[in-house]
A and B are shown apart, each in its own frame.
Chain A
């Protein structure tokens, strides 16, 4: 499809395990964003990529969280040693260039930590 694609759509894992979430942005979009949304809450900004570089990592909640983007396209968000408070929906969005352009969101990955 032509939209932002995220996988997996759902992930259930045990506390302490590592998880990797994937985002495939709209073709041609140079900017990519990761957000977290807990139940009934607003969007929590995690990280922003422009191309392969991450000029803004200010939202990553701890050093257990990391993200990379290769080839200016696909991005992965990795959470190490997961905790129950990491349970949330992780949303990825992309835009044509920077924050002056609208973002288009994927369907998200619902992460549940047991």
Chain B
């Protein structure tokens, strides 16, 4: 079992729809969770951090965390073609050292 799992996609949604990106993780002791966006040929950029169970909203983005289910998600409302990118989920892990584990990413394609 991978430490951080994401559906590789591509996830295709029409412009204006809600895009839902999901991530599961294996380390129950994880406390910090991050979503990054990576455009093709560019480096990852931080979208959101979340540390507590529940929802955290920032503009069109909402991160949702459920530590009991070891699940974190990112919702993008009113999706735009400019949101087309790969979204990386990252989780801190205390197992075998204190480090951040990145998922392989989900490719999102927003159709105009």
Q: B93 touching A99 by the CB < 8 A rule?
A: yes
Q: B102 touching A106 by the CB < 8 A rule?
A: no
Task: Say whether B59 faces chain A, with CB atoms less than 8 Å apart.
Answer: no
* Closest A residue, CB atoms, query B90: A103
Q: What's the interface size class on A, roughly?
A: 20 to 34
Q: What is the distance, in angstroms, from B5's C-beta to the closest C-beta of chain A? A: 12
Residue interface bits B92-105, CB-to-A below 8 A is 1, else 0: 11001111111111
Give residues of chain A (86-114) contacting chain B, Cβ–Cβ below 8 Å.
Answer: 91, 98-108
Give the contacting residue for B98; candidates A98, A102, A103, A106; CB below 8 A. A98
Q: A99 touching B102 by the CB < 8 A rule?
A: no
* Closest B residue, CB atoms, query A91: B43
Q: What's the interface size class on B, roughly?
A: 20 to 34
Given contacts A42-B103, A105-B45, A107-B43, contact A100 B88 (CB under 8 A): no
What B residues does A105 contact at CB under 8 A? 43-45
Q: A99 touching B32 by the CB < 8 A rule?
A: yes
What A residues does B100 contact at CB under 8 A? 33, 99, 103
> What is the bound-complex CA distance between A43 and B87, given in angstroms?
12
Q: A56 touching B43 by the CB < 8 A rule?
A: no
> What is the bound-complex CA distance between A55 and B97, given in angstroms?
8
What A residues does B31 contact at CB under 8 A? 100
* Closest B residue, CB atoms, query A105: B43
Q: B104 touching A42 by the CB < 8 A rule?
A: yes
Q: What is the distance, in angstroms, from B80's C-beta to the closest C-beta of chain A? A: 23
Q: A43-B102, A99-B92 are in contact. List 19 more A-B contacts (CB 8 A).
A: A42-B104, A42-B105, A43-B44, A43-B88, A45-B101, A45-B102, A48-B97, A48-B99, A55-B97, A98-B98, A99-B32, A99-B99, A100-B32, A100-B92, A101-B32, A102-B34, A103-B46, A105-B44, A106-B43
Which residues in B have some Cβ–Cβ distance to A below 8 Å?
Answer: 31-32, 34, 42-46, 49, 88, 90, 92-93, 96-105
